Each structure stands twice: as C-alpha cells, then as structure tokens.
A and B are shown apart, each in its own frame.
Chain A
Amino acid sequence: MNIRSLYLEEEAVLKRAEGLLMSQQCFSLDVYRELYEEYRKLLKQMKTLVNVADLTQAELKTLSEELGKVSRIDGLTELYNRRYFREIFLHTWQQAVEEKDILSLLMIDIDYFKKYNDTYGHLQGDECLKAVAAEFQRAVGHPEDFVARFGGEEFVILLPHSDAEAAIDVAKRLLQNIENLCMEHSASPFGQRVTISVGIACRCPTSDVKPNTLLDEADQALYKAKAAGRNCFKLYV
C-alpha cells in the first residue's frame, strides 16, 4: 500500500469489481466476501472523514463569526467601532436616498476629557469612557439606532428615519443621562462633573450629496456647542 493516489484503495476495489463483471464468469462467495469487507472498511473510513471534516468546518464557522464580531466592536467600550459605523452609515445613507427618507446624526464629545485623563490617569479615563458609552446606548430608543465610538472621546449616533425633533429628544436624554451619572471631574467647571457636548445634523439624503456632508454638519454643530460653552447640544442649520 502506498499513496501514489489518495484514493488508491477505492480505485483498486473498483478495478477488481469491474474485472469480475467483465469476466462474465461466476465467482465464489469468498471473492464476493473479500470485496464486501474492503468496501465496508472504506465506507467506514469515509464516514470518519466526513465527521472529522464537519467538526473542523463547524469550528471554522464559529471562529469566523467571532472574528467578524470582534472586527466590528470597539474593545474598550463594546460599542461598534468607527470602521463598522462607516459601513452602516453608507448603507443607511443609500437606503435613505432610495426611500427619500430622513436621517439624523449626533456627534458627541466628552467635555474636558484631556483634563480628566491628566487628573485621574488613563485607566480611570477608560472607566469614564465605558460608563459614558453605556449611557449613550441606553439613551437610544429604536433597534435601528446605531451608537459607535468614533475615536478617542468622540462618539456618533446614527438615527435612521429620525427628524430633527427626534434627534433633539435623544440629545436631551444623552445630556440628562450623563448628568445623572454624577461622575466626578474636579477639573471641569460644570459642577465638577463629567459632561458632554452634542452636535446634531439632520438631512433627507439625495444622490448629489456626499454622505460625508452629514458628518461635517454634525461636526460643525458640535463645534458650535463647544463654542457656546459646552454641556449642551446644537443643531446644524
């Protein structure tokens, strides 16, 4: 026995069976039994092969799903990451163009976060990001509302099918939730508590407008909220 071919034994069994058939002679029970035994052995081997392949495939499927999940999540806050936000945002934008629907985008920044890190250290800074992220997730109402960490202390919330009024409601809830957290921030002028600033942009997307426009508008609104003294929201108009 060697493996010049992977299926050498199977081929040998076939060849022998063919030879017997071609000879058109009666063959003894012993010859039949021998062929039967070989076939049985090879069938058992094939079943093992399939079982082992199934086990491996199932494992690969699980790993692939886990990897897919990990690649979409921000490891610290467990919110979606910027890469996945981009994917969802472009898809939602396109859908809104086709359905002539409205959508809103909130861009959020933690006020004086650099000072927070300087005061309490980066580890506590991470805890602050986690706590704030959880509150953002709690503040959205619909399953389609999409909360993501945009980078550093910046977050975005995408609200499909939502007009400015609905977006303002979410922004108010965000500010309220963070206020209720009462997270100490001795370097902040706002009652020495952690606060946020929110920029809101709202649009009915059209094919002649680039999706980044909405991001820019939310960013400009956020800038205005900061210029207005922080701990507030501003709507892009």
Chain B
Amino acid sequence: MDNLKIERTKSTPYIFFDAASGRLRVEGESYPENVVKFYTPVLDWLHGYFAEGADNITLEFKVAYFNSSTSKVFMTIFDLLEEYVTTGRMIEVVWICDRDNDVSIECGEEFKEEVEQLSFRIEAC
C-alpha cells in the first residue's frame, strides 16, 4: 500500500502515514475551510489500510491548534480505531503536546476519556 503524504499548509496539518512501519503522523494546525474535504482521503486511507489487514499501528497527533470540526473528525478516527481494536489489532494513539501548553494537554485528556479500549497516551514534552 502506498504511503499517504499531505504537505502542511497554514490551516491544515502535515500528514504522513507510513504503511510499512505503521507509524501515522498528524502534525501542525488544523482549521481547514472544508474539514470533510480535507480529511476524506485520510479516512479513506485508514479504511484501506485496515482492509489490507494492517496491525500494530501508532497514530501520533501533534496538533497545536484545531477547530471544532477537526475535533469531530478526530473523534470519528478514534471511533474507527476503537472498532478495530475490538477485533484484536494493536493500535496506539499518542497525543503529543508541549508540556507548557495546558490547553493541549487538557484536550488530550478529554479525547482520552472518549475512548474505552483504544490505548491513548498523552506525551507532554
């Protein structure tokens, strides 16, 4: 499967999903004008990746600023991952934030409460 790479813009994050290593990164800021349009290829890629039987995945989020629509998409992603975790796949989400950014840490904690079986780790560095 091909990697997914989307370059960072002012309002959208850098996306690099490495199919071989299972390391998927979302990094930057996210307030796209059309959040559905931007994240549809991302969700499509994830669906395709899991359909091919992908296992042992780490999804890293390092998103300093995001709008409400983006957080809805993030939760849709977490929901999708949670579904696959229940089928026995090894998936971990890492929410990476600046240790001085209390808001980002708190947002990570909110998302963490949202998931039940999915491993969700907050890494403040």
Contacts and interface: CB of A to CB of B under 8 A. Distances in A.
Contacts of B19: none
B18 interface: no
B110 A52 contact: yes
A9 B107 CA distance: 23
Contact of B113 (A3, A6, A48, A49): A48
A55 B36 CA distance: 23
Most buried by B among A4, A5, A49: A49
Contact of B71 (A2, A4, A44, A49): A49
Contact of A48 (B44, B67, B80, B114): B114
The secondary-structure label for the interface of chain B is helix
A48 B83 CA distance: 19
Interface string A47-73: 011011101101100000000000000
A52 B107 contact: yes
Interface residues on A, range: 20 to 34
Contacts of B124: none
Contacts, number: 62
B14 interface: no
Nearest to A44: B114
Nearest to B78: A45
B43 interface: yes
Contacts of B114: 44-45, 48
Given A1-B80, A2-B47, 7 more contacts: A1-B76, A3-B43, A6-B73, A45-B79, A48-B114, A52-B110, A55-B103
Nearest to A58: B103
A51 B111 CA distance: 10
B73 to A, nearest CB: 6
Interface string A218-233: 0000000000000000
Contacts of B73: 3, 6
Interface in A1-29: 1-7, 9
Interface residues on B, range: 20 to 34
B68 A53 contact: yes
Given A48-B113, A49-B71, A55 B107 contact: yes
A49 B36 contact: no
A50 to B, nearest CB: 9
Interface of A: 1-7, 9, 41, 44-45, 48-49, 51-53, 55-56, 58-59
A6 B36 contact: yes
Contacts of B65: 56
B49 interface: no
A59 B103 CA distance: 7
B36 A4 contact: yes
B5 interface: no
Contacts of B40: 2-4
A3 B107 contact: no
Given A49-B71, A52-B110, A53-B71, A1 B44 contact: no
B72 A6 contact: yes
B6 interface: no
